[in-house]
Copies of this chain bind each other. A is one copy, B any other.
Amino acid sequence: MPRYFLTIEYAGGAYVGWQIQQNGASVQAHLEDAARAILGGRQEVIVQGSGRTDAGVHALGQVAHCDLPEGFTPEKLPLALNAHLPPDIRVIGAAEVADDAHARFDATQRAYRYRVFCRRHAPALLAGRVWHFPHNLDIEAMQGAAERLIGRHDFTSFRARHCQANSPIRTLDAITIERHDDEIWFLFSARSFLHHQVRNMVGSLVLVGQGKWTADDLSAALEARDRARGGMTAPAEGLYLTAITYGDTTPDGIPDASA
């Protein structure tokens, strides 16, 4: 059976996360149900994602693979699946790939965006889409401090206590911090991330942006290799998985691989 990479957009607020769990609806389960539905309910389909996202986390460019019988084209497949998905989950692209291509193991780069809405008064139109932070943040200070996190480090201080990865060592390729009107966007890219790593790094950078931490404090937290020394975990609702890269490219349909 041909294998397809799907590019998937979702609002995380209604789900327990990407991964199938006993305690609620997951994005993965919806996709597997939709795939089964387009096959007339006759066979199970496994949809393997590039990685998990937590409850409440959004995606603009999650990628997953699945095997389907002959007869679907990359143009029609998203339309067929979307007909069986809730409106807050959309398949926005599909590509036929090699039979042994793997959405998780072949990924060479993952990109996340974290949106902080900085204004005294909460946004009327962005509930569940940003972290509302009612104080100004010093972008230059955060940019300077973020440099301390770039590169290969032991990220224990920014890793969830229940993280299941074998090693706390990761290589962070880039952090970019941009102002967008009332928002500050933190853009992260790496081959892979630890559990809660992005949200914990944002929680710590925000301490720098408030002037509560210096860049040296951030370095000291990193070097301590102790979660208790890292900053708070920023809320899930501001986090977006934006793109997964395979080799040097992203699958068709990903809107913006750079952010």
Could you list which residues of chain A lie within 8 angstroms of chain B, going by C-beta atoms?
Answer: 9-11, 58, 60, 78-79, 82, 87-92, 119-125, 127, 129, 181-182, 255-256
Contacts and interface: CB of A to CB of B under 8 A. Distances in A.
Contacts of A123: 9, 90
A77 to B, nearest CB: 11
Given A181-B255, A181-B256, A255-B181, A60 B125 contact: yes
A121 B88 contact: no
A121 B182 CA distance: 28
Contacts of A89: 124
The 10 closest A-B pairs by CB, nearest first: A9-B124, A90-B124, A92-B121, A11-B125, A10-B124, A90-B121, A88-B124, A11-B124, A182-B255, A87-B127
Contacts of A88: 124-125, 127
A22 to B, nearest CB: 24
B124 A129 contact: no
B125 A58 contact: yes
A209 to B, nearest CB: 19
A125 B129 contact: yes
A88 B119 CA distance: 15
B121 A78 contact: yes
A181 B182 CA distance: 18
A81 B256 CA distance: 39
A84 to B, nearest CB: 14
Nearest to A91: B121
